Amino acid sequence: MKHFNLTEFACPCCGACDMDEHFLSMLDHARELAGIPFVINSGKRCERHNKSVGGVSRSKHLTGEAADIRTDTQRERAIILRALLAVGFRSLAIAKTFLHVDTYSEDWCGLY
């Protein structure tokens, strides 16, 4: 990866950071297109941590195929969102302070 260190995706509970390589490749490409840093709030989660943060039982965070990217401004959110869509991500959710992206195969956009 050019723009990330694998430790950025580590589970804060146990340190697991076994992320999916294809997911990381797409995310790194999106970061290249965006031209601005992606700050990872959440990447890999173990079952215990996922449960403690209210994650769903089939969360892609559990398999290393999801990330929450901090966004501080609307401009930043728009730039990152455009880049994620441009590289082929189709499962996205928008919250006030972050964007969630994962590898679910069906198109889905939502609001937290």
Is the overall model pTM greater than 0.85, yes or no? yes
Q: Give the pLDDT confidence score for residue 106 in this predicted structure.
A: 59
Report the distance separating Cα 82 and Cα 59, nearest Å. Answer: 23
pLDDT per residue, tens digit, the chain (112 aa), is 899 999 999 999 999 999 999 999 999 999 999 999 999 999 999 999 999 999 999 999 999 999 999 999 999 999 999 999 999 999 999 999 999 999 976 555 554 4
**Quick one: pLDDT at residue 104?**
77
CATH code of the domain made up of 6-111: 3.30.1380.10
Reduce the DSSP state of residue 65 to 3 states and report it. Answer: coil
Residue 55 Cα distances to 5, 18, 37, 90, angstroms = 24, 18, 25, 19
Give residue 105's pLDDT. Answer: 62
Contacts of 75 (CB under 8 A, 6+ apart): none
